[in-house]
Amino acid sequence: MNKALLFLFLLCICSCKQPKKETVSSSVLSQPVNIEYAQGFTIDRTSPDVTIIKVSSPWPESEASFIYALVAKEKLSTITLNRDEYDAIIGVPVQKIVVTSTTHIPALEALGAADKLIGFPDTEYVSSPKTRTRINLGLVQELGNNESLNSEMVIALNPEVVVGFSINHENKAYETIQRSNIPVVYNGDWTEQTPLGKAEWIKYFAPFFQKEEMADSIFRTIADNYNNAKTLAKKANNRPRVLSGALYKDIWYLPGGKSWASKFIEDANAEYLWKDTASNGSLSLSLESVLERAHDADFWISPSQFGSYSELSEANRHYTQFSAFRNRKVYTYANSKGETGGLLYFELAPNRPDLVLKDLIHIFHPELLPNYIPTFFKPLD
């Protein structure tokens, strides 16, 4: 009898034994996800249940990089990760997320994950009708602003991950959130220098929701649309000269020749008058130098946030000297707003460069897209 009881006891212990844990390292042979245009991140599948995201460009000229491990929730207890190798380990799919830039929202919506968003800073800048509805229903909490994110409110919401962006490595709010065991991951989509590079960051968001195949399909459609529009633009018989930007406190700010804004103009088969400058950011010029070079420019796009010709002329009488002003060839994104005044361009344009390019082709070469209805760029009132 005693031997029988001992046998049953041992059998019970064996049957209740924990499953053997699998040890995963970021250095093991992995399967890279195809990233065609973006330069700031990579994705690797180290196993069917573990995805590694490396962000190498969290902010401009960053010397820091961050590595995040995303693990299928049902395998979290059976997979051992060396935590010293990762800046954050997140169980996926994520059900509660906080993002901090309006450019993150279109990616969530495209992936069918808008209902996972529970908090956002500066909600008044959100233009998307879908997310605005959730904000109005109280389903997305206002969290202050990104420069002074209300860390106490974030901690109270207890999201599974916070997707942040920063201009440098110093962000006290993010540090406080991380000390509360809420992972903060950096998104550097805004550091990309090409339109399709920015848009490809939808692939960064996809593994958090296990939507990789959907993201690939979405991005492929956007890239195909963009490249087809670029090919169409080459059929134009003329190449108009283009001015951009406007004055702010006596300094004219306009895109550098290597910036994504300049790339749009080039791909729309137009000549940006500062295309030969080396800056991938913005240029700071005097009114006199801009007027000298662009007095006879055929088009003027993105004149800051001015929405009408009267606003321009009242702000500075010298604006009226440009041919584009006199010929009513000024186009702005400032007149495409959400219900609370947020500019649609700043939210959606990085995610949908194909729409931006078609807008510009319609402006510069209307004969190529005669029935096209612009999304962002519209004539000044």
Q: Which of 194, 222, 250 is the last residue of a domain?
A: 222
Pair (83, 141) in one structural domain: yes
Report phi then psi at 45, rounded to 5: -100, 110
Domain total of the chain: 2
345 within a domain of the structure (yes/no): yes
Given a contact cutoff of 8 angstroms between Cβ atoms, the answer to whether 331 and 379 are in contact is yes
Pair (83, 122) in one structural domain: yes
**CATH classification of the domain holding 280:** 3.40.50.1980
127 within a domain of the structure (yes/no): yes
Q: Which of 222, 245, 271 is the last residue of a domain?
A: 222
Pair (239, 209) in one structural domain: no
The whole model's pTM is what? 0.90
Pair (214, 326) in one structural domain: no
11 within a domain of the structure (yes/no): no
Pair (311, 168) in one structural domain: no
Pair (267, 208) in one structural domain: no
98 within a domain of the structure (yes/no): yes
324 Cβ contact partners less than 8 Å away, ≥ 6 residues apart: 243, 297, 298, 299, 300, 330
Q: List 251's β-bridge partners, or say none.
A: 248
Furthest-apart CA pair in the chain: how many Å? 106
The pLDDT of residue 147: 72
Q: Which of 178, 195, 222 is the last residue of a domain?
A: 222
Q: What residues in the chain have per-residue pLDDT under 50? A: 1-21, 25-27
The pLDDT of residue 80: 85
196 Cβ contact partners less than 8 Å away, ≥ 6 residues apart: 36, 37, 222, 223, 226, 353
331 within a domain of the structure (yes/no): yes
Pair (313, 242) in one structural domain: yes
Alpha helices in the chain (DSSP H): 2-15, 104-110, 129-136, 151-157, 172-179, 195-199, 202-205, 212-233, 260-267, 287-294, 309-315, 323-326, 344-348, 353-364
Pair (204, 336) in one structural domain: no
The pLDDT of residue 155: 97
228 within a domain of the structure (yes/no): no
212 within a domain of the structure (yes/no): yes
The pLDDT of residue 166: 86
The pLDDT of residue 29: 54
Residue-number span of the structural domain to which 359 is assigned: 234-379
104 within a domain of the structure (yes/no): yes
Pair (61, 202) in one structural domain: yes
Pair (83, 116) in one structural domain: yes
Pair (326, 252) in one structural domain: yes
Residue of 260, 267, 261 whose CA lies nearest to 233? 267
Pair (203, 274) in one structural domain: no
The pLDDT of residue 148: 80
